[in-house]
Amino acid sequence: MNTRMDAPEPKADKAGVRRHNLSLVLRTVHEAGETTRAAVAARVGLTRAAVSSLVEELLERGLLVESGKTFSGSAGRPGTVLKPATTGPAGLGVELNVDYVSVCVADLTGADRVRRTVPVENRALAPVEVLRRAAGIAAEVLAEAADQDLRPTGVRLALPGLVAGGTVQQAPNLGWNRVDADALFARALHAARPSGATALPVASDNEANVAALAELWFGDLGGVRSFVHVTGEIGVGGAIVLDGELLRGAHGFAGEIGHLTVTPDGPRCRCGSNGCLERYAGQSALLRAAGVRDVDTLERRAQDGEPRALAALDEAGRMLGVAVSGAVNLLDPQAVVLGGIYPRLTRWLAPAAEAELGRRVVSGLWTPARGRLRAASSTADAARGAAALVLRDVLADPQAYGG
Amino acid sequence: MNTRMDAPEPKADKAGVRRHNLSLVLRTVHEAGETTRAAVAARVGLTRAAVSSLVEELLERGLLVESGKTFSGSAGRPGTVLKPATTGPAGLGVELNVDYVSVCVADLTGADRVRRTVPVENRALAPVEVLRRAAGIAAEVLAEAADQDLRPTGVRLALPGLVAGGTVQQAPNLGWNRVDADALFARALHAARPSGATALPVASDNEANVAALAELWFGDLGGVRSFVHVTGEIGVGGAIVLDGELLRGAHGFAGEIGHLTVTPDGPRCRCGSNGCLERYAGQSALLRAAGVRDVDTLERRAQDGEPRALAALDEAGRMLGVAVSGAVNLLDPQAVVLGGIYPRLTRWLAPAAEAELGRRVVSGLWTPARGRLRAASSTADAARGAAALVLRDVLADPQAYGG
């Protein structure tokens, strides 16, 4: 019988209970922002004594801090306030895009504490050189973070391409094929730091994926937990979050909405297909259609009502609407979020896109009450999302960090 | 702080432990096909005594049966073989499509035990009449099932439309809008059965969704747990299964690949949009393009190499390829399964579809080793999937059934 109608869950493994509970307590404090031992015990269903012992270890490891007393809440008597530490363990996120590098250090609360964004024409450089320059910027940011007593435990790179197993399989807009980004960056970062600095583990991810996670964790989504995230950069990236989890796909490549076909016989795309959304709504295509060199100029001309700029935005919006309609018909998400260069252009892109959505999404699904294109939050970007992924590892296994 | 980076799981509720464990034991036996008390105890991590008590109740409720002794396995000593019952509690599935009704009774093992498929031109009839006729067929099938001592505990309807909360919100190919299918069918079924028959609970679902679940549970997918299922009927249905779970979406309408736009300025669709996949690859569109009246004729002409039939299949395959490429780029599934009328036509549809997939799916994703269009299994259809959904409810809460 090959039915698997409802396979029972496997027997729970009792090993690593304390390790698991340390994580549970740390995540509970993280989630609450500030709380007490008694409230944590009530929340997670452990005894007060067990929680106190776990909290002690987390304090020693520098992952939690105590601050003052609270007299509020349901715990009945005052307790010492617990918070996640805002010094010590931190995450380093590096967004390496086509025309800029952005580096962020986030503390354990997720706050963006050190930031450096540098325009770089990465297309003109060899991958090893791109990664070397990015590592140089990251080394400076690490030094600045050290001055604030922030010690990143790892690095997450966010790259505009298909990333699997530490290798950028393909990043058409960077012109990269099979680049061992993790290893090259780790080596370059180590070389750029003072001798004696501990080597940091490096892992890569798709830029659109981490931008979507940043929106989930730091954005202004209200109760939305399932959404499609479309990022306008030189190309168009995409990511899918379902019930608070990133959909990675069978090979780690899910979310490539930029290569959804919007016109089967349309212009050739760098990916090898033609008529991809990216060829209409990517930054390069949009600027070319508008006859301008940069997004600032495009925005200014649109504000001035310049017809060619408005027509380019309208056409990009229309094609965005066609592709997003497809994603909505397939996924029935709670929302669609536009990130990257799109938030500042949404007022011109949205009308045409909304018209397509209203027409193409199966009836009842896209209504003003249910769906609206929304601009990504300005505080949620790929570099911060990448830094937060490092922090998530700390939250998941506090014993591996701190102390 | 509005971060929800890793919210801790809620405290486990201790109520209903026996109820939960009954389900766990029943599902374990179901999954295994046949097993022993000792093997169940080892698998689920309960004591042998606890398992024996639970098995006793499941035997009394007629959900399990004992048969002979086994001397094999790792349990060390012979035990009585336990199996799911093949009489008693069963599921009734009713697929109500545009031009036929198919009714299936499946026993607790998922086996298709009674089947009746009747061609009906449902488009020509009012919804209440369609449901009345389907209920009449279902009543006959129930009588036949009773002769085999099979007693369905509920009915699942599978309908080609958007279904939410018991109401068919929209089924363009049936011409239905806001039809309370559950209530109408339940009333008609009760009227068609002998007086004194217990009223059966009725629930509706989207036909493509249950067809996909049937493929997952009864098909020949090997290790595939994430796939896109495309069903060719009068329209084109679709469903998405991710890691063994149906993606339902925020409003229950996910999977509508039939209304993915393949040509933005293409012909008008019944859904209100235009250029939908369905307008090229749905049964109606395909037969019209081929100049034939039914799928048998289309298949025969294709076998004979008739140019118009081949051209129609090639074009439908091309458009299927465009739409499926979009779904693959978004979801990165392990496989794409073609169901409904497509399996018998796959040899003519696949070449053009594969060519589009090879060209349009972002590189590395669709290769002969990774992706292939595959025809749905002939033993997995929507009616059986619907019946199995009823059984899943029994497996999830055995105390509510049997006995």
For the entire predicted model, the pTM comes to 0.89
Task: Quote the pLDDT of residue A284.
Answer: 93
Contacts of B8 (CB under 8 A, 6+ apart): A24, A27, A28, A31, A43, A44
DSSP secondary structure string, A205-255? EEHHHHHHHHHHHHS--TT--SEEEEEESSSEEEEEEETTEE---SSS-TT
Please list, residue by residue across A28-63, b when 16 or more beta carbons sit within 10 angstroms of its beta carbon and e when fewer do. Answer: bbbbbeebbbbbbbbbbebeeeebebbbebbeebbb
CA angle B358, B361, B364 (to 5 degrees): 80
Contacts of A240 (CB under 8 A, 6+ apart): A212, A227, A228, A229, A246, A247, A254, A255, A327, A331, A333, B330, B331
Task: Quote the pLDDT of residue B78.
Answer: 63
Rounded-to-integer distance, Cα B173 and Cα B153, Å: 30
| Other Cβ atoms within 10 Å of A267 Cβ, number | 11
CB-based contact (8 Å) between B355 and chain A? no
The residue type found at B125 is: L
User: In Å, how far are A98, A120, A160, A336 from A126, measured between CA atoms?
Assistant: 12, 13, 15, 35
Beta strands B236-242; B245-246: pairing state: antiparallel
Q: Which tokens hold the place of B357?
A: 């997939």
CA angle B80, B390, B14 (to 5 degrees): 70
- Hey, is B132 helix, strand or coil? helix
**What percent of chain A shows pLDDT beyond 90?**
77
CB B90 within 8 A of CB B62: no
* A-B contacts (CB, under 8 Å): 228
Contacts of A262 (CB under 8 A, 6+ apart): A275, A276, A277, A280, A319, A322, A323, B261, B264
The residue type found at A304 is: D
CB B362 within 8 A of CB A271: yes
DSSP-based helix, strand, coil % in chain A, nearest 5: 40, 25, 35
User: In Å, how far are A4, A222, A245, B139 from B6, measured between CA atoms?
Assistant: 29, 16, 10, 50
Task: Quote the pLDDT of residue A78.
Answer: 63
CB B373 within 8 A of CB B348: no
Rounded-to-integer distance, Cα A307 and Cα A301, Å: 9
Interface of A with B in 131-150 (CB under 8 A): none
| Other Cβ atoms within 10 Å of B154 Cβ, number | 19
**Regions of chain B where pLDDT drops below 70:** 1-15, 70-78, 364, 369-371, 402-403
CB contact under 8 A, B363 and A255: no
- Hey, is B140 helix, strand or coil? helix
CB contact under 8 A, A8 and B28: yes
In Å, how far from its chain's centre is CA A226?
A: 14
Residue of A nearest to B177 (CA): A363
CB contact under 8 A, A329 and B257: yes
Residue range A248-253: average pLDDT?
90
Q: Using only the alpha carbons of chain B, give its radius of gyration.
A: 23
Assembly ipTM: 0.88
The residue type found at B153 is: T
Interface of A with B in 66-105 (CB under 8 A): none
Interface of A with B in 177-196 (CB under 8 A): none
| Other Cβ atoms within 10 Å of A265 Cβ, number | 8
Segment of A192-201, A283-292, B60-69 carrying the highest mean pLDDT: A283-292
CB contact under 8 A, A4 and B216: yes
pLDDT tens per residue, range A296-339: 999 999 999 999 999 999 999 999 999 999 999 999 999 999 99
| Other Cβ atoms within 10 Å of A245 Cβ, number | 12
CB contact under 8 A, A109 and B3: yes
Residue range A168-175: average pLDDT?
88
Chain A CB contacts of B28 below 8 Å: 8
Rounded-to-integer distance, Cα B138 and Cα B135, Å: 5
CB-based contact (8 Å) between A264 and chain B? yes
Model confidence at A17: pLDDT above 90 = no
Task: Quote the pLDDT of residue A60.
Answer: 94
CA atoms within 13 A on the CB side of B363: 16
CB-based contact (8 Å) between A244 and chain B? yes
CB A174 within 8 A of CB A161: yes
Q: How confident is the model at residue A13 (pLDDT cuts 50, 70, 90)?
A: low
Q: Which tokens hold the place of B265?
A: 């300025």
CB contact under 8 A, A332 and B253: yes
Task: Quote the pLDDT of residue B2.
Answer: 38
Please list, residue by residue across A150-179, b when 16 or more beta carbons sit within 10 angstroms of its beta carbon and e when fewer do. Answer: bbbbbbbbbbbbbbeebbbbbbbbbbbeeb
Torsion sign across C-alpha atoms B325, B326, B327, B328: positive
Contacts of A20 (CB under 8 A, 6+ apart): none
Domains and CATH numbers, chain A: 17-84 (1.10.10.10), 88-209+382-400 (3.30.420.40), 221-375 (3.30.420.40)
Task: Quote the pLDDT of residue B79.
Answer: 75
Task: Quote the pLDDT of residue A6.
Answer: 54
SS (H, E, C) A244-297: CEECCCCCCCCCCHHHCECCCCCCECCCCCECECHHHHCHHHHHHHHCCCCHHH
User: In Å, how far are A320, B32, B62, B399 from B54, measured between CA atoms?
Assistant: 56, 17, 13, 11
CB contact under 8 A, B251 and A218: no
DSSP secondary structure string, A339-398? EETSGGGHHHHHHHHHHHHHHHSPTTSS-TTT--EEEPPTT--HHHHHHHHHHHHHHH-G
| Other Cβ atoms within 10 Å of A249 Cβ, number | 21
CB contact under 8 A, B262 and A260: no
Task: Quote the pLDDT of residue B1.
Answer: 34
Of A5, A247, A318, Cβ closest to residue B110: A5
Place of tokens 């105390």: B399
| Other Cβ atoms within 10 Å of A357 Cβ, number | 24
Task: Quote the pLDDT of residue A403.
Answer: 54
Task: Quote the pLDDT of residue B333.
Answer: 94
The terminus-to-terminus CA distance of chain B in angstroms comes to 52
CA angle A254, A256, A261 (to 5 degrees): 130
**Closest-CA distance of chain A to residue B338, Å:** 16
CB B211 within 8 A of CB B378: no
Residue A74 dihedral angles phi and psi, to the nearest 5°? -95, 0
Count how many residues are written for chain B: 403
Of B3, B11, B326, Cβ closest to residue A260: B326
As beta bridge partners, residue B239 has: B229
Model confidence at A68: pLDDT above 90 = no
Question: Closest Cα partner for A28 from A53, A47, A16, A45?
Answer: A45
Question: Closest Cα partner for B314 from B347, B340, B343?
Answer: B347
| Other Cβ atoms within 10 Å of B300 Cβ, number | 13
Contacts of B192 (CB under 8 A, 6+ apart): B132, B135, B136, B138, B139
> How is residue B76 annotated by DSSP?
S
